[in-house]
Structure 1
Amino acid sequence: MGRPRKIPIIEEKEIAEIDESLQLCNLRNMYDHFFKTLWKLKMDLDEMKKRDEKELVTKKGVGRKPKIKKETQISHSIVFSGFRRGDGASTMSLNFSYAFAENSANSVVLIDGNLRDPVLQNQFIMKRKKGLYDALQGNAGIQDIVNEIISKKFFFISAGQQTKNPITLFESAKFEVLLKQLKEKYDLVIFDSAPLLGNPETTLLANKTDGLIMILNADVTRWEVAKSVKNDLEGANVRILGAILNRKQFIIPQAIYKFL
């Protein structure tokens, strides 16, 4: 009898430009992967900053001493999104936020950016009931929406009121201001967002941040769909930081499976 083989719906080789897929259960490996991704992103941003400063000096002319600004810490903002409801993006963003807070000296704020159908507020006991929607409507400041989960390490902002047309809020100048404030206050800003399919605001949100982490459901997502969405995102100038293959199952023990 031949050895049984598990043929996944998603074939990573068909999405070769997406980072190596990870499993939901291995939070430590997930943290290590994203830490490396964020570090590379920091290096890229630092290099861009140095290049811009060099160009500025060149434009001002040789022999003129440029004014050197005080070095500031670079903060990052990333979006987690699946393709459809139930792919696990909310769970993934929540778990990664906890892992980041517990395994680093930096602060992280998790934001429920799914204004159509928010779910993360049920995971916390919150003192502040106002959320992202209220801030973008001008009815609340940053101090009115941030809930401290782990002292000085992990913070959470709920979606607040639901809306059927969130894209106008993410297009607003108020969102630009809020994102700037959050990046100045926290080392890492994470958005849980609506599914990519059928929700154009997620592409807009990802475009305004440093990048997107795509969550692919191994039992549902077709590689043709994933590749098409990936191309659309890149066409919208969205930086895809990586992808997580969620709910990948093994029909034999994992310890043995890797040797087959």
Structure 2
Amino acid sequence: MIDEVGALMREAAARAILPAYRRLGADDVTEKAPGEVVTVADRQAERILTDGLTRLLPDSQVVGEEGVADDPATLARLDLPGPVWLVDPLDGTANFASGREPFAVMVALRRDGVTEASWILDPMADRLTVARAGVGAYADGVELRAPAGAPPVAALRGVLPTRFLPPPVRAAVQARAARLGEVLAGHHCAGREYPDIVAGIQHFALFWRTLPWDHAPGALLVGETGGVARRLDGSPYQPADGRAGLLVAANEEIWHTVRETLFSGVDPTAPPDGVVGGDGPAPDSVG
């Protein structure tokens, strides 16, 4: 189904997303939560994806961002046996609604609690990145591998949004970020952050809120290229795990270096508190 899902995502982009880009009217953008917008393109794209994915796997369930926003009980499907699709119909909605890039379409297929495959589409570049558990990751058919080795701490660059960090964690990050080479502004779009890590454009990214549709696709992508996506206590990222805090890095050495640099002597872990939201509207960054 690798090609079929990719074709479906491109169809959703062509029918729902690209025609609306920079053409949204006042009634086409609404606030679904304080500070978090949704557009008609998000909703239409999710309908197209949901219909198409359930046709591909008639016995599957769908957990989509907008479906959960309308009915939070839908999130319980994530733990059901059998195949479950995770759908982010338009990652980076705040960017899209403001008429700027990047934004992405993301899908992941989980079966019995394990992410088997993921797809990330950049609609503007028409670039499709695919990962399959135990097989590898590819961008438009070209195999991807994360960069090996770790530069010195003073040469590492990555994204450190601080908006949602608890005060002690925020204070630690702000005080220690200068030890790193460069803190980037970030894209406010997980569908770009993860591919940028694999491509070597940045070495790491810190996320605090971790909705499954925002991070399951990218976590598999990074893992299949030799990278690491882990909770701040070092445990692997699991989409159904409701804890906050996620550090993603191009490889194991970089992950440990960034973790030690930012959080040595600090407990950055968060107790379970349900599934915590995605990176939300334009999180601020250190720097």
- What TM-score results when the alignment is normalised by the length of structure 2? 0.27
Structure with the larger strand share: 2
Rg bigger for which structure? 1
Structure with the larger helix share: 1
Identify which of structures 1 and 2 has the higher relative contact order when contacts are C-alpha pairs closer than 8 Å and 6+ apart. Answer: 1
